Structure 1
Amino acid sequence: MAALAACLLLATLPATAGQSADASQALAFPGAQGWAAHTPGGRGGQILRVTTLAADGPGSFRAALEAKGPRIVVFEVGGVIDLGMQELRITEPYLTIAGQTAPHPGVTLIKGGLIIATHDVVVRHIRIRPGDGGMPKWSGDIDAISTVRGARNVIVDHCSLTWATDENLSASSTRFHGENEAEWMENASHSITYSNNIIAEGLAHSTHPKGEHSKGSLIHDHVNRILLVGNLYAHNYERSPLFKGGARGQVINNLIYNPGQRAIHYNLIAEEWIGHEYSRGEMVVRGNVMRAGMSTEPLALFMVGGSGDVDLYLDDNLAVDRIGNAEIPEVGRYTTAPVALDRHARTPALPFGVHLLPSAQVQDAVIERVGATPWNRDLVDRRIVADVIEGRGWIIDSQDEVGGYPQYEASRKPFVEAEWDLDTMEPIGGHSRGEPLR
C-alpha cells in the first residue's frame, strides 16, 4: 500500500494558489499543457514595450521584468541583447514575455540567463545563448533559464536555449525547505511546463567550476508536477533530462539527439541527503525518441544512478543507434546501490491538454514545431535542426566552434494592440509573426 500511495502522490497533490485543475478556466494560450496550463501570466496587466537592445535602463527588457504588477512584455525592437555575463532575475509575479511580438530577427539574449523566482510566469518565443563570454576556464556558470525555490505556475514554451555553461533549461529549488516531505514538495518549484523548446549544445569543457558541464535540463530534488513535452534535446552530454531525488513529473514526446553518456536519467545523491530519509521519485516517460550521434557513448534510454528509489512508467519510447538499429537498451544503471526501480502497474493519466503522439510521429512533429520562431528560424536554430535531421554535429566546448555569437542588426516595428489577442498574445486574423527569412 505504501508503494501504491507513492505512485499516486503526483496526481493527488493539492492545487496551489493561482492554479486550478478546472478545465473551464482560460488557458494561458491556445495549446497550453500541464499543471501550469491555466496560469494567467500577465493577462489583464499593463503592456510594457521593449524599445531598446540596451541591457538596462528605460525601455529595456530588464526594466520590464523588474516592473511591479501584472504585465505583458512586448517588443518593438528585434536583435541581440548583450547581458554582459549577468543573469536577469524575475521576482515580480504575473508576467507574460511575448517574444513573438518582436520584428525579425526576433529577440536573442546573449552572455547571460534568466532566473524565475516567482509565480505565474509565461515565457515564449525568445532565444537565450549564454556562451562562455570569453571568460577563463572554471570561472563561473550560467543557466539559460532556471526556476528557483517557490517558483510555480511557470510555462517556458517555444524558446531556443543553447550554449549554457550550466543547464540550458532547469527547474531548481531548495532541497529541504520545510519540516517534512509534504512541505519540501510544496516549497519546491512545481506546476511547470517546458514545451516545444530547443535545448541544445550545452558547453562541455568551458567555464563551469566543476569542469565538464554540457547539460540539458536538471529537475532538482522535490520539484514536482513538471511536464517536459515536445522539446528537442541535442548535443548535451547528460540530463536530457535528469530528475534528482524525489522529483516527480512526466517526460513526453521529446526528441533527444546525440546525447553523450546519459539521456533521460534519475539520481538521488546520497551525500546531499545526509540526515534525511530518502524521498521516492516518480517519472512517466512516454513516446520519446532518442537517436545516437557522433558524441554518443554506450548508454540506455533511461538510466538510474545514486541511491534513491523511483517509480517509473515507460511506454512507446524509441531509441536507435547511428544507423537506426534499435539496439540501445531501454533501462540501464550507473550505481551499485540497491535502488528500487518499480514499474507502474497502471497507465498514469496524461497531464492536462497533452495529446500523446506515437513515437513514430515524434521526430517530424518536433522538428516542425520546436524553437523560438519555428515559422522563421534564425541561423543557429536552422543549423541545429538541420544537423539533427542529417545526423551531424557534436558536443562542443565553446560557441566559437559553431560560428560564435549571432550579430543581427537591430530592427524596429511598433506594437499594435489591435493585431493581437491580448488575453493569449496570439496574432489576430491574417496578421503574421515576423518576416520570412531570406
Structure 2
Amino acid sequence: MIDRRRLMLTAAAAGAVPVPAFGSATAFPGAMGWAASTPGGRGGRIIRVTTLAGEGPGSLRAALEAEGPRIVVFEVGGIIDLQRRDIRVSNPFLTIAGQTAPEPGISLIRGGISLRTHDVIARHIRIRPGVDGAAPKSGWEVDGLTTSGAHDVIVDQCSFSWATDENLSASGPRFEGGATAEQWRQHTSRRITFSRNIVSEGLSNASHAKGEHSKGTLIHDNATQVLIVGNLYAHDHERNQLFKGGVHAVSANNLIYNPGNRCMHYALNASEWGDHPWEVGQLSIVGNVTRGGPSTRADLPFLIVEGQGDLDLYALDNPARHADGRAMQEIGVISDREPKIRRLNASPHWPAGFEARPSDQVEAWVFSEAGARPWARDVVDQRILREVRNGTGRIIDDEAEVGGYPVMAETQRPFVEADWDLPTLTRKDGAPG
C-alpha cells in the first residue's frame, strides 16, 4: 500500500509541493471512516470566496481550481449558477468550508463538482443541478458531486438533489494500474467518507440519454475503504446505494425513504468486466432504516444482488418496511448465474474507531444532523424532511414540480480568522457557523 504521508513529505523535500500538517487528529470533530484523518487544506493559504459569479476572481471556481494547500472560506452567501459547467478539482489538499458563509449559505445550481484528486474535505454546501429546461433524453447528464479516482475525501453535511445522473458518487476507472485487483484499487476511488448528507430527488424521466435516471449514490467497481454513514436518501428511484463489482464498503446508520425500483443494490456485470477475473464484493450493512413511500414498488426487497458476481455480506440490524407496515424481503436476486452470497458473522472491513448506532437511534440522529447547515436548512431540505416525517412526497422528473430553483438574496460577511479554529474550521465560541 502506498504510504501517502511519506510520498508527500518526499515531494515537499524536493521542492515540489507544500504539505499540510499530518497527524493523528481527525479532520474535524466527528469525522469518520478511513479518510477521517485527512488534513484537507490544513496549514494552507486561506482563499476567500467574495462573489457569487460562476467564474473569475473571487469565485468558488477559481478557489477550487487553485494550486497548493488551501482552505476555501466564504464572505458571501446565496446562489452560485454554474451555467452547466461543472467544477473539476484536480489539485490536492483542499478544505471547502461552507459553514463559514453568511446565511443562507452557499447553493450551487446548473452544475456540479468533480473531485479528481486527494485529501479533500467538503462541508455544508448544497448542490442542486436541475434539468434546467433540457428536453427529455437530450444528454444533459450531470452529477451533484462525484469523486473520480480520488482518495482520502470526506463529504460531510452537504445537500444534493435534482441531479440528472447520480446525486453523489465515488467512481473512477475499473481496471487501471496493472493486472491485479490490488493495483486496480489504487487507481480508482478509495478511502472515501460520505457522512450526514441529504441525497434526494434525483430526477427520473429528465434529460439523461438513457431516460429514467433518478439515482442516489453509485460506488463504482473496485472502490475500497468507503464509508457511507448517517445520510438521508429520499425520493431516489434507484441506487439508494448501488455498489458495483469488487467493492469493499460499509453502509451504516442511513435513513432511506421512498426508494422506487431499487433500495440497496450490489451488481457485478460480466459484460463490463470482460476478460478480467471477477472479484468478490465485500459489504457491511449495519443499522440502516428503510421506509417505503408513495413511489416504492410493492415487492421491493431491501437489498438486490444482481449480475454475476459473488458477495461476502455482513448485515445486521437493518429494519426495512413498506409504507403499509409490511416487512421488506431482505434480499432479492436478479441474475442468469446465481451469485453466491456468503453471510458473515463479522465485518470483513471496518474503519478503526467507528461505532455504528443501534437502528432505533438513526431517525432522530439523521433528522438532527443530516444535510447542509442543519441549524438553518433551506426550503428544499425543510420540505424533504417534512415529507419523510409525514410519509408523503414522490419521485419527480423536474425541479419545477416542487417549486424550481430556490431564490436567495445575496448576503455578505467578512471572514474573521480569529473567530475560527483553523485546523478544524469550527467556531471558537461553539456556534455552528
Pair in the same fold by TM > 0.5: yes
Change (3 A) 1:143 1:18: farther
Map of 1:322 onto structure 2: 323
- Which secondary structure does the structure 1 equivalent of 2:82 belong to? strand
For the 8 Å contact 1:82–1:110, the answer to whether it is kept is yes
Does the residue aligned with 1:207 lie in a helix, a strand or coil? coil
Residues 24 and 42 from structure 1, CA distance in 2 versus in 1: closer, same or farther, beyond 3 angstroms? Answer: closer
Change (3 A) 1:378 1:354: same
Q: What is the rounded CA distance, in whole Å, between the counterparts of 1:245 and 1:346 in structure 2?
A: 21
Give me the TM-score of the superposition, normalised by structure 2.
0.94
Q: 1:31, 1:353 within 8 Å by CA — same for their partners in 2?
A: no
SS in 2 for 1:375: helix
Equivalent positions of 1:224-243 (< 5 A) are: 224-243=224-243
Where does the alignment leave 5 or more consecutive residues of structure 2 unmatched? 8-21
Name the structure 2 match of 1:251.
251
Match of 1:428 in 2: 428
Q: 1:16: how far off?
A: 4.6
Match of 1:8 in 2: none
In structure 1, what is the Cα distance between the partners aligned to 2:91 and 2:382?
Answer: 34
Deviation of the 1:24 alpha carbon:
6.4
Q: What is the match of residue 266 of structure 1?
A: 266
Offset, 1:337: 1.4
Q: Per-residue displacement from partner, 1:122-166 (whole Å, max 9, x unpaired)?
A: 0000000000111122222000000112x1000000000000000
Residues 225 and 249 of structure 2 are in contact (CA less than 8 Å); yes or no, is this contact kept in structure 1?
yes
Partner of 1:79: 78
Runs of 4+ in 1 over 6 A off after TM superposition: none
Letter in 2 for 1:305: E
Equivalent position of 1:207 in the other structure: 207
Q: Is the 8 A contact 2:164 2:207 kept in 1?
A: yes
Superposition RMSD in Å: 1.5
Q: Is the 8 A contact 1:287 1:359 kept in 2?
A: yes
Q: Which residue of 1 aligns with 2:16?
A: none
Quote the Cα distance in structure 2 between the aligned partners of 1:181 and 1:195: 27
Q: Secondary structure at the match of 1:39?
A: coil
In structure 1, distance between residues paired with 2:6 and 2:290: 33
Aligned-pair CA distance for 1:350: 3.7
Conserved? CA contact 2:284–2:349, under 8 Å: no
Could you tell me which amino acid in structure 2 is paired with residue 275 of structure 1?
D
Aligned-residue offset at 1:86: 1.2
Structure 1 gaps, min length 5 = 1-13, 434-438
The amino acid that maps onto 1:201 is E
Rounded to whole Å, the distance in 2 between the matches of 1:165 and 1:349 is 32
Contact in 1 for aligned 2:284/2:347 (Cα 8 Å)? no
SS of the equivalent of 1:84 reads coil
| Aligned residue number for residue 404 of structure 1 | 404
Aligned to 2:90: 91
Distance 1:370 1:15, change over 3 A: farther
Q: How does 1:41-60 map to 2 (within 5 A)?
A: 41-60=40-59
Deviation at 1:346, TM superposition (A): 2.9
The sequence identity of aligned pairs, in percent, is 52
| Cα distance in structure 2, aligned partners of 1:62 and 1:114 | 10
Letter of the aligned partner of 1:378 in structure 2? D
Task: State the 1:27 CA deviation.
Answer: 0.9
Kindly tell me the number of residue pairs found equivalent between the two proteins.
416
Summarize the Cα distance change of 1:111–1:156 in structure 2 as closer, same or farther, 3 Å threshold. Answer: same
For 2:376, what is the secondary structure of its paired residue? coil
Map of 2:10 onto structure 1: none
Cα offset, 1:98, TM superposition:
0.1
Distance (Å, rounded) in 2 between the aligned partners of 1:333 and 1:429 = 52
Are 1:419 and 1:431, in contact at CA under 8 Å, matched by a contact in 2? no
Distance of 2:410 and 2:77 partners within structure 1: 6
Question: Partner residue of 1:155?
Answer: 154
The CA deviation string for residues 374-409 of structure 1, in whole angstroms up to 9 with x for no partner, is 011000000001100110100000000000001101
Alignment of structure 1 residues 337-348 onto 2, 5 Å: 337-348=337-348
**Cα separation, partners in 2 of 1:383 and 1:90, compared to 1, 3 Å:** same
Shift of 1:19: 9.6
Q: State the match for 2:351 in structure 1.
A: 351
CA distance in 1, matches of 2:295, 2:2: 41
CA distance in 2, matches of 1:68, 1:314: 42
Aligned letter for 1:17? Answer: R
Partner Cα distance (1:113, 1:24) in 2: 31
AA at the equivalent of 2:428: I
1:430 deviates by 4.5
SS state at 1:401 partner:
helix
Secondary structure of the 1:65 match is helix
Query: Paired residue for 2:300?
Result: 299
Distance 1:401 1:316 in 2: 36
Secondary structure at the counterpart of residue 112 of structure 1: coil
Counterpart CA distance in 2 for 1:121 and 1:104 is 24
Q: Deviations over 1:166-198 (max 9, x none)?
A: 000000110110222110011111000000000
Q: What amino acid does structure 2 have at the position aligned with 1:385?
A: L
Write the distance in 1 (CA, Å) between the matches of 2:320 and 2:201: 20
**2:129 counterpart of 1:142:** no
Counterpart residue type for residue 324 of structure 2: I
CA pair 173-430 structure 1, distance change in 2 beyond 3 A? closer
Q: Deviations over 1:233-262 (max 9, x none)?
A: 000011111000111110000000000111
Local SS of the residue matching 2:374: coil
**Structure 1 Cα separation of the partners of residues 219 and 432 of structure 2:** 35
Distance 2:6 2:265 in 1: 29
Question: Cα deviations across residues 197-228 of structure 1 (Å, max 9, x unaligned)?
Answer: 00000000001111100000000000110000
1:261-307 CA-partner distances (Å, limit 9, x unpaired): 11111001111111111111111000000000000012111110011
Quick one: structure 1 residues 388 and 15, their matched pair in 2 at CA, closer, same or farther if it must change by over 3 Å? farther
Q: Which amino acid aligns with 1:48?
A: I
